[in-house]
Amino acid sequence: MTPFAYAKARDVRDALALHTAHPGARFIAGGTNLLDLMKENLTRPSTLIDISNLPLTDVEAEADGGLRIGALVSNADLAYHPLIERRYPLLAQAILAGASPQLRNMASTGGNLLQRTRCYYFYDAGVPCNKRRPGSGCPAKDGLNRIHAILGASDQCIAVHPSDMCVALAALEAKVQVAGNRGERCIDFADFHRLPGDRPDLDNTLADDELITAVTLPARGFAEHFAYLKVRDRASYAFALVSVAAALDLDVDGRILEARIALGGVAHKPWRDPEAERSLRGATCDEEAFGRAAEALLRGARGHAHNHFKIELARRAIVRALSQAAAAEGNV
Ligand SMILES: Cc1cc2nc3c(=O)[nH]c(=O)nc-3n(C[C@H](O)[C@H](O)[C@H](O)COP(=O)(O)OP(=O)(O)OC[C@H]3O[C@@H](n4cnc5c(N)ncnc54)[C@H](O)[C@@H]3O)c2cc1C
């Protein structure tokens, strides 16, 4: 590990000032991803600005019926928060499908959004990687690509975004609140993470000097009909090969008023397709309708040597998650 300086920020303004004063600095929250990257010499911050003391640890109901989640709320506290369990159980389910209890105690809401891909080649400093060093190449394309993208990839990068929490946040249409030296702004979740294109080194649209202060949720939590289905190699402590966050709003006759479907493990960002969701409006909850939505969502999916199986896996996972959501199987 390369030597680095350390500073503890008192509040948001102090954190931003410290960041400006120390070129090459990085914020550290729970450290569960950043420290691993530093130990492998994949990232070498000049200074770690510890934000763990910032007053961003509350989950608060908002006047518009939504919820504001401070960026430093731990994944564990968030998943078991009474307002999340009652109003946004899809989010609780997705968080609890990730990592381990110990990691969820440390991991923060903001850090979870910014965790980096689990592509083997990205974590191996001995091989080229366009995400680490733009223009150096992508060994995953012709290498071991079992866990890689089937949607939205580019010639430069086929890595996937690893978070579970973000898949639920995408389906719930969360917003990311950020503060920077130029002021505060709010980013729609769909615009927060990005596809690799010719800049796979950029995972998201956060500026280098910006701090995530909160994630906000709209009032609608789909607490009646939801499912988070994660398909992985082990039953726990493994990243998703494919995951599906499904949320349905049904009328009294069981017809779909609104559907949300987000996929994890398949692209450089949580994957949604408004057309697939629209296709379910007015439909009855059956395998045929869910299968049609799955086909629409996976339109354009393309496998690589070792991950063609993900296309069929995703199709089946979408149908199953929607069926579970319709049957309210998660509401136990
Ligand atoms: C073994 C293992 C298994 C895991 N399994 C899963 C899994 O199955 N599913 C899953 O979703 N996740 C999984 N994770 C990832 C884990 O959830 C993330 O590492 C964690 O959420 C990151 O949060 P953190 O607070 O520790 O971030 P840190 O490591 O502190 O920071 C991560 C990045 O975010 C930046 N950052 C942090 N907070 C802010 C902020 N407020 N504003 C601006 N920048 C910020 C840091 O500078 C850094 O770049 C796993 C991790 C490990 C180590």
Ligand 1 nearest-atom number relative to CA 36: 53
Question: Is the shortest distance between the CB of 45 and ligand 1 below 6 Å?
Answer: no
* Ligand 1 nearest atom to the CA of residue 26, by list position: 47
Determine the Cα–Cα distance for residues 27 and 56; give it in Å rounded to an integer.
14
Task: Please tell me if the CB atom of residue 34 comes closer than 6 angstroms to any atom of ligand 1.
Answer: yes
Ligand 1: does its nearest atom lie under 6 Å from the Cβ of 163?
Answer: yes
Q: CA-CA distance, 158 to 232, in Å (whole number)?
A: 18
Q: CA-based angle 28:97:332, to the nearest 5?
A: 130
Q: What is the distance between the alpha carbons of residues 16 and 9, in angstroms, rounded to a whole number?
A: 9
Q: For residues 45 and 62, what is the distance between their CA atoms, to the nearest angstrom?
A: 36
Q: Write the pLDDT tens digit of every residue in 292-302.
A: 999 999 999 99
Contacts of 226 (CB under 8 A, 6+ apart): 89, 90, 93, 245, 246, 247, 248, 325, 330
pLDDT digit string, tens, across residues 118-145: 999 999 999 999 999 999 999 999 999 9
Let me know: does 322 contact 302? Beta carbons within 8 Å: no
Stated pTM of the model: 0.98
Burial 277-308 (b: 16+ CB within 10 A, else e): bebbeeeebeeebbeebbebbbeebeebeebe
pLDDT given for residue 329 in this prediction:
76
Task: Sheet containing 256-264: give its strands across.
Answer: 225-231, 242-250, 256-264
Rounded Cα gap, residues 87 and 328, in angstroms? 14
- Provide the phi-psi class of 7: left if phi over 0, else alpha when psi is between -120 and 50, else beta: beta
Q: What is the residue with the minimal CA distance to atom 50 of ligand 1? A: 99
Q: Determine whether the shortest distance from the Cβ of 27 to ligand 1 is under 6 A.
A: yes
Task: Determine whether the shortest distance from the Cβ of 180 to ligand 1 is under 6 A.
Answer: no
Ligand 1, residues 114, 164, 176, 206: which to mutate, most atoms within 8 A of Cβ? 114
Q: Is the CB of 42 under 6 A from ligand 1?
A: no
For 170-223, the pLDDT digits (tens) are 999 999 999 999 999 999 999 999 999 999 999 999 999 999 999 999 999 999
pLDDT of residue 2: 83
177 touches ligand 1 (CB under 6 Å)? no
Reported as half-sphere exposure (CB side, CA atoms, 13 A), residue 221 has a value of 20
pLDDT value, residue 332: 54
DSSP letter assigned to residue 29: S
Atom 47 in ligand 1: residue holding the nearest Cα: 27
180 exposure class (CB count in 10 Å sphere: 0-12, 13-18, 19+): middle
Atom 53 of ligand 1: nearest residue by CA position: 32
- The per-residue pLDDT for 79 is 98
**Which regions in the chain score pLDDT beneath 50?**
none
Q: For a ligand 1 pocket test, name from 6, 14, 18, 28 the mutation site with the most ligand atoms within 8 angstroms of its C-beta.
A: 28
Neighbours of 6 (CB within 10 A): 10
Phi/psi of residue 95, nearest 5 degrees: -60, -45
At residue 282, the pLDDT reads 98
- For residue 315, what pLDDT is reported? 98
Residue appearing with tokens 């607490």 = 223
Cβ of 147 below 6 Å from ligand 1 = no
Does residue 30's CB lie within 6 angstroms of at least one atom of ligand 1? yes
